Amino acid sequence: MKSLQLTRRDLLKKASALAAPMIVPASVLGKDGTTAPSNRITMGLIGHGLIMGGHRGYHLQRKDVQVIGVCDVYSDRRDKALKQVEKTYADRDGKGKHTGCESYHEFEKLVERKDLDAVVVGTPDHWHAPISVAAMRNGKDVYVEKPMTLTIEEGKVMRDISARYGRILQVGSQQRSERAFRKACEIVRNGWIGKVHTIYAGLGGFPQPHNPAEQPIPKGFDYDRWLGPTPWFPYNEERVKGNYGGGWRRFWEYGSRKNGDWGAHHFDIIQWALGKDDSGPVEFIPKGYQGNEHQTHVYADGTKVLRDHPDRNGHMIHFIGEDGTVSVSRGGRLDATPAELVRQSVGPNEIRLYESKDHRGNWLDGIRTRKPTICNVEIGHRTASICHCSGIAERLGRPIKWDPVKEEIVGDANAARWMDRPRRAPYTIL
Amino acid sequence: MKTFTITLCLTFTSVGFAFADHHGGDDLAKRLDALLAGVSQDDEVQRYEPRMGVRDLTSAASAPGSKTREAYVKLLLERLANDDTHQAAKAWILRQLENVGRSESVPALNRTMGSPFHHLRELARRGLEQNPSEEAGAALRALASTEKDRGTKRALVHSLGQRGDAKAVAVIAEMLGGKDQALRLVSIDALGKIGTGEATKILFDGLDEAKGADATAMANALLESANRLSAHHADKAKPILNELYHGETSAAVKAAALRGLIKADPADADEVILLALQSEESLVRQAAINACRHLSGPSVLPNVLAVKLPDLAPNERAIALAVLGESGDSTVAAQLAESLSKGNQSTEGSVSLIGVLGKLGGVDAATRLLELASLSSDEAVIEAAQVALAVMPGASVGPWLVAATETGDIDARVQAIATLGERGTRDAIPALFAHVDRGPKAIRKASLASLGGFVSSEELPRLMGYLKKGDKDALKAVVQACRQVRDKDKAADAILSGMGPLKPDMKESLLPALGVLGGEKSFATVRSMLSDAVLGKAAMRTLSRWDGVEAGPVFLKLAQNDDTSVTDRTLLLRGLGRLIDQGDGLDAGKRFEWALAGMNAAQRSADKRLFLPVLANVGSRESVETLVGLLGDKELGADAAQAALNAVKKMRGGRRSGRAKQGLLKAVIRSSPDKDVVEEAQKALDKL
C-alpha cells in the first residue's frame, strides 16, 4: 500500500478544503502551477480611493487574475493605479514594460469590454448600485464594497439583476470570512448560550454632517460625475475625500453614516448569527426617541440590537443569551461565558456555517464554479436594508416598522418615500 | 451678521423635534421663517443647522397621523411662491416637498419646472417623481411631451419610468423615434420599468429595427418585462425570451434569456439546456451548465455533463465539476469513476474528479477510490483518494468497506481498514477487533491503528487487554485513543484499572496518555508515582507537561521543596510558566501571584529568567513594576529590560496607559545595559 500516513486531523483539514469550492481543474493550470494567461479571470478595478489599495494589491498578486482596466474620476488616482498595475506585471513577467491594462474615466466603457470577466467596485456608496448593475447587465461578476447600496430599492434591483443575469456578487462585509466571527455565529446559532435576547454592537460615531464652504474643483477631478445621482452641492474637499474618520462618509447624501460604515459589518454578523440572512428586523427606534438611550432595532421574536451600548466586554459585538454570552471582535478576538464554548467543536448534527477563509478568494472561487459567495447579493441587500432603515428612523426622529417579508416600511407612507432617492439627471439609469 | 448668526443657531437648536401638532399656525410660520432665514445666509457653512431645523419640521409634519402636515405644506408652498424667498431656501423647500408633498404641491412644482434656474427645475422634477398623487403623474406626462431642454426631458421620462406610470407609455413611445440617443435610451429603460403589455409590445416590435446601444437597452428592458411576466404569465414571457435568446443580442442577454426560459418552463429544461450546451457563446454554455444545479426532477443532464467533461473549456469544466459534485447522482459517480479508470487524466484532472466522487459517494465511487488509494503511483492522487474516501457520503459505503477488509489485495484491505478509522465507522469495530485477534500481521497492525483513531472509552478496556503481552502496536492505539476520546474521566478509569498488571515499560509509556486525558484522577495517579524508583522520572516529565491549572499549586509546592532536584525544579518551573502563559481560567492577579512565587522558588538565575517573559505577558501594573524593579539586577537586568519593552508593546492604548508606558520606557532607557534595547525603547518613547 502506498500510504502517505495522513493523520485523521490532516484528512479532515483536507476534506474541509474539498468541501470549499477550491477544485481547480488541471487545464486551468499552467505546467508551472500558474494559470495560463488565457484562463485568468480578467478584472476591472473601479474607484481607487482608500479601500481599493487592498483590493488592487490582492488581485495583482493572484496568478489566476489579470487586471485589465482601472477606472476613476480622479485622473491622478487613475494614473497611479495604472502605473502600479503596469509595474507589477512587468516585474512578474520579467519584461521592461506591460501594456495590457487600460485606464478609464467612465465605468460604462470599462464594463462594456467583452474580454472583461469581473469588476471590483470601491467607490463611495452612492455609486455602488449603478456601477454594479451596469456591470452585471454586461455579464460581469461583481465584488462591491459595503454597504451594498445607498437605498433599499437599489438593493431590490441589484438582487433582481444578479438573478436575471446569473452573476456572482460578493459584498465586502469581510468579517464573514474571519474565523472568530463565524465561530461566534455558530455558538449563537447552535443555542450554546441559550436564546439570545439582546445584542450590543459598537459602531462609534462620525462628526455631524455639515455644509463645507465652496472651494475650487481641483484640476483632473470630474466632480459632477463623482456626485453622480446625488443632489448637487458646492465642491469642498471634505465632502469628497475618503477618510475613515469622516470625509464623504459623514454625509447622508452619499451613505448611511456609521450605520452604513460599521453597521454594514456588525449588523451583517448579527443577521448571520440569528439566521436572518433572508429576512430582517421588524422595528427601528432612533436614539433619543422618547428617551431611548441607544439606537435599537428589534426582531420579530423580541431580540433587540442596541448600537454603542458600552457593556460590550471590550468587544465589537456582544451577544447576550439566556445561558451565556459571546463577544467577538476583529483580530480573532472571541470570548464567551462559559469560556469553554470558544474551544467547543460544532457537533455532527449541529449547524455548521458556510466557511470562507479569504473573502476575495471566495468571490474568485464563485466566479469559477458559479456557487453563491459567502456574502451574496441577498445577504448584502438585507444587511444594507438594516443600515438604511436605521438611518431613515434617525433622520425622521421616529421609529419605523418594517415588514421583512414584503420588504416595506409599514404604516408610514412618508417614511416609505425614503426607501429610494430620486436620482440627479443625467445619472438616472439604474 | 455675527450676532444674527448666533441668535439663529440658538433658535434652530431649540426647534429640533420640539415642534409638535399642538403648535398653532402662527407659531409654526414663525419657526419656519426663522429657519428659512438661516438657510438663506450667504455663508454656506452657516446654512447647515437651519436646514436640519427645517428637516425636523418636515419629519414631524410627515409622521403618521400628523394634523399639521397640510398647514406646514401650505406654508412651504407660500414661501416657494414668494419672489423674495432666497434661492437656497427655495431649493431646500423643494427637497422637503419630496418627502411631505401630495397633490396640493403639484401646481407649485409644475410652475417651478418653468424656472430659469436649472437646479430648481431638477429639484421640482424630483418632487414630482416622489409625489404619490395622480396629479403629479399627469404633470410629468405633460411636461415630458412639451419640454424643450434635452436634459430635463430625459430626466422627466426617467421619472415616469420610476413611477411605473402606465399612462405614460404613449408619451414615452414618441421619444423612441427621435434623434437624441440619450433620450431614446432613457425612454427604453422607462418602458421596461413600466412593463405593461403595451410597453412590452412597443419594445418587442422595436427590437428588430434597433441597433447598437438602442438594441442592447431594448433587450435589457425586455428582459425586465419578461422576468416580471414569467411569474404569472409564462406563456407571454416565452416568446420574448425566445426572441432575445435566438436574436442578434449580446452573450449576456442570451445567457439571461436562457435562464428566463428555463424558469418559465421547467418541464422543457433538459431540452433547452442540451441545445444551449452547443452554443457558440461561452457565457451561454456556462449558464447552461450552471442551470443543471437547479433541476427540479430526474434528468439526463448530470450524465451528459459527466460524459462531456473532458471536452469542456477550462472555465466551463470548473462549473461542471462543482455542479456534478452537488448533484448527489450515483449514476454520475459510475460515469466519472469510469472516466477515471481510463487513465488519460492529468494529475490535477484526476484530483478534481476524485473530489467530485468524494462528494457523490456510493459503492461505485468507493470501489474506484480504494483502488486508487492503494495502487496508484501518484502521491497527489493517493492523497486525494484517501481524503475522498474519508468523507464520502452513502449508507452503503461503510458495510462495503467492512467487506473489503476481508478479502482481496492486502494493500487494498489495509486501505479499507484505515478508511473505516478515518470515517469513524462504529459498526466496523467488531470486524476490526476480529482482525486484531486473528488477522495477518499487516492487517492486525492496521486494525489497531484504525481503532485507536475512533474508539470510545467503552472499547478502551479491550484495547488495554492487549498490553499485557507487551504489544507496542496496541500501546500506540491506546495512546491515540486517549487523545480523541470524549469521555476523558471514563477513559482515565479504564487506563488506571488496566495499568496494574502491566510491566514497568508499558506503564511508563502510558503516563503521557494520562497527561493527555487530564483530570483529577489521572493527576493524582501520576503524582503518586513521583516517588516510584522506576517510574519517578517519567512521572515528573509527565507532570511538568500537565495542562490543567490544578497542577499550578503542586508545581509550586514541589519547586519550593529543597529536596527536589535541580533538573526536576527546572521542569516544574517551566511547566508553571507555561500554565501562567496559557492563562486558562486564571485572572491577571493569580497569574502574577504564581509568576512571582515561581521566581522566588527558582534557585538559579536561568530559572528566574524563565519568568521575565511570563511577567511581560501578564501585563498588569504589578507585573510591570516587578520588571522595573529588576532592571538594576546584575544577572537579570538585561533580560528584564527586554521583557519590560515587550510589556510596553502589549499594553493597550489610552491616555493613562500612555503615561505608564512613558515611565516604563524611561526606566528601561536609564537602566538597560543593552544598547539595542535602549535604542528600541527610545524609538518607542519618541513615537509616544
The answer, yes or no, to whether residue B155 has pLDDT greater than 80, is yes
Is A234's CB within 8 Å of B44's CB? yes
Q: Mean pLDDT check: name the lowest of A31-35, B107-111, B556-560.
A: A31-35
Amino acid in position B436:
V
What average pLDDT does the structure give for chain B?
88
Classify residue B162: in a domain, yes or no. Answer: no
Is B252's CB within 8 Å of A138's CB? yes
The answer, yes or no, to whether residue B154 has pLDDT greater than 60, is yes
Chain A residue closest in CA terms to B416:
A1
Is A370's CB within 8 Å of B415's CB? no
More confidently predicted of B315 and B651: B315
Is B59's CB within 8 Å of A398's CB? yes
Cell match 439570545: residue? A196
Closest CA to A356 of A328, A383, A329, A376: A376
pLDDT, one tens digit per residue, over A137-180 is 999 999 999 999 999 999 999 999 999 999 999 999 999 999 99
Is B349's CB within 8 Å of A368's CB? no
More confidently predicted of B6 and A368: A368
pLDDT, one tens digit per residue, over B561-592 is 988 889 999 999 999 999 998 877 788 889 99
Q: Is A31 exposed, middle or buried (0-12, 13-18, 19+ CB in 10 A)?
A: exposed
Is A4's CB within 8 Å of B64's CB? no
Do the beta carbons of residue B23 and residue B75 sit within 8 Å? no
In Å, what is the CA distance from A91 to each residue of A36, A69, A95, A101? Answer: 17, 18, 6, 14
All three cell numbers of B90: 427655495
Facing residue for B63 by CB, picked from A3, A166, A398: A398
Do the beta carbons of residue A141 and residue A117 sit within 8 Å? yes
Percent of chain B clearing pLDDT 90 (strictly above): 54
Tell me the C-alpha distance between B447 and B428, whole Å. 10
Q: Does domain A8-174 have CATH number 3.40.50.720?
A: yes
Classify residue B244: in a domain, yes or no. Answer: yes
In Å, what is the CA distance from B64 to each residue of A194, A402, B346? Answer: 38, 15, 68
Q: Which one-letter DSSP state was computed for residue B23?
A: S
The answer, yes or no, to whether residue A13 has pLDDT greater than 70, is no
A196-201 and A317-321 as β-strands: parallel, antiparallel, unpaired? Answer: antiparallel
Classify residue B127: in a domain, yes or no. Answer: no
Facing residue for A429 by CB, picked from B186, B377, B585: B186
Q: Does B151 reach chain A within 8 Å, measured CB to CB?
A: yes
Contacts of B181 by beta carbon, 8 Å cutoff, 6+ apart? B213, B214
The answer, yes or no, to whether residue B655 has pLDDT greater than 70, is no
pLDDT, one tens digit per residue, over A412-430 is 999 999 999 999 989 988 8
Under DSSP, is residue B630 helix (H, G, I), strand (E, B) or coil? Answer: coil
- Residue A341: HSE in the Cβ half-sphere, 13 Å Cα cutoff: 25
Neighbours of A44 (CB within 10 A): 24
The answer, yes or no, to whether residue B658 has pLDDT greater than 50, is yes
Is B43's CB within 8 Å of A213's CB? yes
Residues of chain A with C-beta less than 8 angstroms from the C-beta of B47: 211
Is A18's CB within 8 Å of B154's CB? no
Return the residue in A158, A370, A418, A424 with the most chain B beta carbons within 10 A, the one to mutate for interface testing: A370
Residues of chain A with C-beta less than 8 angstroms from the C-beta of B182: 426
Q: What domain range includes position B274?
A: 195-299
Closest CA to A409 of B228, B63, B68, B70: B63
All three cell numbers of B207: 427590437
Tell me the C-alpha distance between B612 and B617, whole Å. 9
Find the DSSP H helices in B561-674. Answer: 566-582, 588-601, 605-609, 611-618, 621-629, 637-650, 655-671
Under DSSP, is residue A143 helix (H, G, I), strand (E, B) or coil? Answer: strand
Q: Give the domain ranges of chain A.
A: 8-174, 176-206+258-355+378-419
Is A1's CB within 8 Å of B410's CB? yes
The answer, yes or no, to whether residue B15 has pLDDT greater than 60, is no
Closest CA to B289 of B321, B252, B332: B321
Most confident of A97-101, B446-450, B521-525: B446-450
Peptide linkage before A147 cis (omega within 30 of 0): yes
pLDDT band, very low/low/confident/very high, at B528 (cuts 50, 70, 90): confident
Do the beta carbons of residue B153 and residue B171 sit within 8 Å? no
Strands (DSSP E) found in B157-213: none
Q: What is the pLDDT of residue B10?
A: 40
The answer, yes or no, to whether residue A301 has pLDDT greater than 70, is yes
Is A2's CB within 8 Å of B390's CB? no
The answer, yes or no, to whether residue A320 has pLDDT greater than 90, is yes
More confidently predicted of A197 and B396: A197
Q: Which one-letter DSSP state was computed for residue B466?
A: G
Q: How many domains does chain B have?
A: 1
The answer, yes or no, to whether residue B517 has pLDDT greater than 90, is no
The mean pLDDT value for A334-351 works out to 88
Cell match 464573514: residue? A176
Burial B494-528, CB ≥16 within 10 A → b, else e: bbbebbeebeeebbbbbbbbbbbbbbebbbebbbe
Closest CA to B187 of B212, B211, B155, B219: B155
In Å, what is the CA distance from B498 to each residue of B434, B501, B516, B520? Answer: 21, 7, 17, 18
Q: What is the pLDDT of residue B202?
A: 96
Facing residue for A6 by CB, picked from B98, B376, B386: B386
Q: Is A332 exposed, middle or buried (0-12, 13-18, 19+ CB in 10 A)?
A: exposed
Q: Mean pLDDT check: name the lowest of B9-13, B60-64, B585-589.
A: B9-13
Contacts of B18 by beta carbon, 8 Å cutoff, 6+ apart? none
Is B227's CB within 8 Å of A164's CB? yes
Tell me the C-alpha distance between B354 and A66, whole Å. 29
Do the beta carbons of residue B401 and residue B416 sit within 8 Å? yes
Classify residue B270: in a domain, yes or no. Answer: yes
Facing residue for A139 by CB, picked from B122, B251, B321: B251
Classify residue B346: in a domain, yes or no. Answer: no
What radius of gyration, in Å, describes the C-alpha atoms of chain A?
22
Facing residue for A11 by CB, picked from B322, B349, B387: B387
The mean pLDDT value for A356-374 works out to 95
Q: What is the pLDDT of residue A414?
A: 94
Tell me the C-alpha distance between B645 and B27, whole Å. 66
Is A4's CB within 8 Å of B386's CB? yes
More confidently predicted of B285 and A21: B285
What radius of gyration, in Å, describes the C-alpha atoms of chain B?
41
**Residue A417 to chain B, least CA–CA distance (Å):** 7
All three cell numbers of B62: 410627515
Q: Mean pLDDT check: name the lowest of A95-109, A357-371, B293-307, B645-659.
A: B645-659
The answer, yes or no, to whether residue A68 has pLDDT greater than 80, is yes
Q: Does B483 reach chain A within 8 Å, measured CB to CB?
A: no
Residues of chain B with C-beta less than 8 angstroms from the C-beta of A425: 122, 125, 151-152, 154-155, 158
Q: Does B421 reach chain A within 8 Å, measured CB to CB?
A: yes
The answer, yes or no, to whether residue A24 has pLDDT greater than 60, is no
Tell me the C-alpha distance between B243 and B249, whole Å. 9
Is B48's CB within 8 Å of A23's CB? no
The answer, yes or no, to whether residue A132 has pLDDT greater than 80, is yes
The answer, yes or no, to whether residue B187 has pLDDT greater than 50, is yes
- Determine the distance from the C-alpha atom of residue A243 to the mean position of all C-alpha atoms in its chain, rounded to a whole number: 17
The answer, yes or no, to whether residue B547 has pLDDT greater than 60, is yes
Peptide linkage before A426 cis (omega within 30 of 0): yes
Residues A176-206+258-355+378-419, CATH architecture: 2-Layer Sandwich (3.30)
Tell me the C-alpha distance between B543 and B587, whole Å. 23
Chain B residue closest in CA terms to A343:
B584
Under DSSP, is residue A285 helix (H, G, I), strand (E, B) or coil? Answer: strand
Classify residue B203: in a domain, yes or no. Answer: yes
The mean pLDDT value for B245-263 works out to 94
How many CB pairs below 8 A link A and B? 208
pLDDT, one tens digit per residue, over B332-366 is 888 788 777 766 667 877 888 898 888 888 888 89
Q: Mean pLDDT check: name the lowest of A206-210, A389-393, B175-179.
A: A206-210
More confidently predicted of B474 and B625: B474
Closest CA to B117 of B91, B95, B138, B98: B91
Burial B292-327, CB ≥16 within 10 A → b, else e: beebeeeeebbbbbbeebeebebbbbbbbbbbbbbb
Q: What is the DSSP string of A326-347?
A: EEEETTTEEEEESGGGGTPPPP
pLDDT band, very low/low/confident/very high, at A11 (cuts 50, 70, 90): low
The answer, yes or no, to whether residue B376 has pLDDT greater than 90, is no
Strands (DSSP E) found in B438-514: none
pLDDT, one tens digit per residue, over A191-222 is 999 999 999 999 999 988 888 999 999 999 99
List residues bridging with A89 in a β-sheet.
Answer: none
